[in-house]
């Protein structure tokens, strides 16, 4: 089933009916690129096309294939989650609270044109069109095959680059200590904006040193194609050592500040959701244990849960950020 968005003429397929990337790109070719480090299409050249659109003739998303990441620890050897699962089992409360709601409802999101405002305590504030953000990528775009946890876990080949590339470009002032990320909040295109579940717009934040870590990604694609709407198109954050709600989707504003941002879930339930929200098996949610997780695609009747790893297995890459901190107090 194809749904036409009359505002821009693009045709949006339901995620459940999108041809898997492994089929139309070729599973062997995709895996070869991920394993062998072959250069893909540069993000900057992709920006010159109307790549944010769905391709009306085929019902597929625009291709966005990259090379294996050179960042230490970025490429997981775990089995990649099936594309259909990753694109139809999501949290994106602007489109509903059920895991299947975003895939059903996010076709209304208009992703072109799109602008991200960078403001606050920086020397070079400006509004970036999505094409301009893409031009800040390294010479080769990257595939980051990362574990992601949000009450469940997946392994997703994200396509993007380290957020640090943008941060260096805008030159934070010495007084900047935190980075705030604000999601689009348009009730006309995001039907659940205005619901009482959260305060809108959705806001997340990182300490500046967290945002500068190479594993914190500014992300434009997954599985060799641009992001589906329900996964946070056209640009989102990916912070793989934290729980999934820290990775803001459909970002429209990045603000540098000297004060810890008030984040959406922390404001809604401060006793349950701390600012840091690092994956930590030793800190339970007040209403459930976080010592184990289930991997999507391995959740059959007799499937055993996996033990949750501190920092989602990225302790070697990010553990130094929290040296000396009481992780139960700063959860």
Residues 6 or more apart whose Cβ sits within 8 Å of residue 271: 286
- For residue 195, the tally of other CB atoms under 10 A from its CB is 13
Residues 6 or more apart from 128 whose CB is under 8 A from it?
115, 116, 117, 118
Domain ranges of the chain: 2-322
The beta strands (E) that lie in 69-201 are given as: 115-120, 126-129, 142-149, 153-162, 178-183
Asked whether 309 and 293 are in contact (CB, 8 A), the reply is: no
Cis status of the peptide bond prior to 22, with omega within 30 of 0: no
Question: What is the pTM for the complete model shown?
Answer: 0.83
What SS3 state is found at 283? coil
Write down the residue that tokens 């139960």 correspond to.
328
Q: Which two tokens stand for residue 286?
A: 């007040």
* Nearest by Cα to 51 from 117, 116, 113: 113
Q: Which CA distances in Å does 297 have to 7, 15, 25, 303?
A: 36, 17, 21, 10
The Cα 329–Cα 119 span in angstroms is 30
Q: How far apart are CA 20 and CA 82, in angstroms?
A: 8
How far apart CA 134 and CA 160 sit, in angstroms, is: 9
Class of the domain covering 2-322? alpha beta
Q: Tens of pLDDT along the chain (331 residues)?
A: 222 232 333 233 333 333 344 443 444 344 444 333 333 344 444 433 333 334 333 357 898 877 788 888 888 888 999 999 999 999 999 999 999 999 999 999 999 999 999 999 999 999 999 999 988 877 555 778 888 776 689 999 999 999 999 999 999 999 999 999 999 999 999 999 999 999 999 999 999 999 999 999 999 999 999 999 999 999 999 999 999 999 999 999 999 999 999 999 999 999 999 999 999 999 999 999 999 998 998 866 677 888 999 999 999 999 999 999 999 999 9
């Amino acid at each position: 089933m194809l749904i036409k968005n009359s505002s821009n003429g693009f045709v949006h397929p339901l995620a459940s009916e999108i041809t898997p990337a492994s089929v139309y790109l070729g599973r062997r070719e995709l895996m070869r690129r991920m394993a062998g480090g072959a250069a893909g299409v540069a993000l900057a050249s992709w920006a010159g096309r109307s790549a944010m659109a769905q391709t009306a003739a085929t019902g597929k998303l625009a291709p966005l294939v990259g090379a294996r990441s050179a960042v230490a620890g970025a490429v997981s050897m775990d089995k990649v989650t099936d594309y259909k699962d990753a694109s139809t089992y999501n949290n994106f409360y602007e489109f509903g609270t059920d895991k299947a709601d975003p895939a059903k409802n996010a076709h209304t999101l208009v992703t072109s044109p799109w602008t991200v405002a960078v403001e606050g305590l920086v020397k070079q504030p400006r509004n970036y069109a999505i094409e301009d953000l893409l031009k800040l990528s390294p010479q080769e775009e990257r595939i980051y095959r990362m574990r992601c946890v949000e009450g469940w876990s997946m392994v997703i080949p994200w396509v993007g680059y380290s957020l640090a590339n943008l941060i260096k470009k805008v030159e934070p002032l010495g007084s900047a200590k935190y980075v705030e990320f604000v999601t689009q909040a348009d009730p006309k295109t995001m039907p659940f904006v205005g619901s009482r579940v959260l305060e809108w717009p959705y806001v997340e934040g990182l300490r500046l040193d967290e945002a500068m870590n190479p594993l914190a990604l500014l992300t434009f694609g997954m599985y060799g194609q641009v992001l589906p709407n329900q996964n946070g198109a056209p640009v989102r954050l990916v912070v793989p050592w934290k729980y999934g709600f820290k990775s803001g989707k459909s970002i429209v504003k990045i603000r540098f500040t000297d004060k810890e941002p008030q984040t959406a879930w922390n404001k809604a339930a401060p006793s349950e959701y701390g600012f840091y929200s690092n994956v930590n098996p030793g800190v339970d949610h007040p209403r459930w244990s976080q010592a184990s997780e289930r991997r999507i695609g391995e959740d059959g009747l007799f499937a055993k849960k996996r033990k949750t790893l501190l920092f989602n297995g990225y302790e070697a890459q990010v553990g130094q950020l929290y040296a000396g901190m009481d992780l139960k107090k700063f959860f």
